Amino acid sequence: MGEPAGIGGEITLQAWTRRSEGLPCFFAIDDPERLAALAARLGMAVPIQPIGSPDDAPDVFQRALPVLAQPLAEMVGPGCPAPANAASVRASIARAVELARTGAASAVVTNPIHKAVMYQGGFRFPGHTEFLAHLLGLDGSEVMMLACPSLRVVPVTIHLSLAEALRSLSQASIVAAGMTTSRALATDFALGRPRLAVAGLNPHAGENGAMGREEIDIIAPAVAELQAAGIDAFGPLPPDTMFHAAARARYDAALCMYHDQALIPLKTLGFDEGVNVTLGLPIVRTSPDHGTAFEIAGTGRASAASLMEALRLAASIAHNRRTATP
């Protein structure tokens, strides 16, 4: 569902109209009346078909958008969120996770939520990643990857202020992120021997301690530990020279030390194609790499490109997991 006042509904409708462009069969967990009203508002010829279970989706998909009903507490207009709907949004995520956990669905693709609205409605998690881990009873080893056709990045610290990210960065957190990423690249992306580039933190990767010691005291020891575990990791690299085309050809994913160090190059290279992937989960989860875009919600200007890439990647990962050699 995502935030009902955002663009999640309309990009879902758009994706269904472009289902012939290599998209897997999918169904929405949403309020059917909301989607029907939105389609009418946008002048989109998208029939909405409520379904009783995911098993009904394949028979419906080519003629209508299958929707597993998740009623809203309050109907809202585009760009006008209501905290009363936070419970419905949360329930839609929980239902999707349970369907994937039990094998009733192959993967979960989440539309963007608006954290401030969710917090007003009682949500107590920094974001999707942490909530998914909670639902699945995980210990915090999950990792957020952002991927587009030309780059994959993993921020070691995620939804923290920059000051807090610097305080929390540790050798152990870098090693944990690197190990989860390497395993996922092999299993989910079918890469035989994944290569990890590890970013430095400071300008010029610290310039041998002249601009900070984090590279010497934290990051280099983490790289050595990853290498000792048999992972093809190298660094720390100067962050300002590791994202041009020739540098990207040397690695399969980049471990970055904080949120914007990872997301700025990813969104610069592939803003409309970026996909958020949660690594280290027993289920497959992807998401568009953008927000709720309240300012254009309901105008028909939102692009479904990222959601479509998220659907394709979810199907690819699910296939790779099914066919992986034990």
List the CATH number of the domain containing 250: 3.40.718.10
12 and 97 assigned to the same domain = yes
27 and 124 assigned to the same domain = yes
171 and 276 assigned to the same domain = yes
166 and 249 assigned to the same domain = yes
Average pLDDT over residues 252-278: 95
- Of 122-126, 237-241, 275-279, give the lowest mean pLDDT range: 122-126
102 and 147 assigned to the same domain = no
Average pLDDT over residues 59-79: 96
Average pLDDT over residues 182-203: 96
179 and 57 assigned to the same domain = no
Final residue in a domain of this structure, among 124, 139, 154:
139
Asked if residue 294 is part of any domain, the answer here is no
- What mean pLDDT is reported for the chain? 95
Average pLDDT over residues 139-163: 90
Asked if residue 14 is part of any domain, the answer here is yes
Q: Is the pTM of this model over 0.85?
A: yes
Look up residue 216 and give its DSSP letter.
I
Final residue in a domain of this structure, among 104, 139, 174:
139
- Give the total number of structural domains in the chain: 2
134 and 1 assigned to the same domain = yes
Q: Which domain holds residue 195?
A: 143-280
Does the structure show a pLDDT above 90 at 128?
A: no
pLDDT for position 159: 82
Best CA proximity match to 199, nearest among 268, 263, 140:
263
148 and 129 assigned to the same domain = no
Average pLDDT over residues 204-215: 93
Using pLDDT thresholds of 50, 70 and 90, give the confidence band for residue 303: very high
Asked if residue 268 is part of any domain, the answer here is yes
Using pLDDT thresholds of 50, 70 and 90, give the confidence band for residue 125: confident
169 and 91 assigned to the same domain = no
∠ CA 134-136-140, rounded to 5°: 55
Asked if residue 303 is part of any domain, the answer here is no
267 HSE (CA, 13 A, CB side): 11
Average pLDDT over residues 9-30: 97
Q: Are 48 and 65 in contact (CB under 8 A)?
A: yes
Does the structure show a pLDDT above 80 at 227?
A: yes
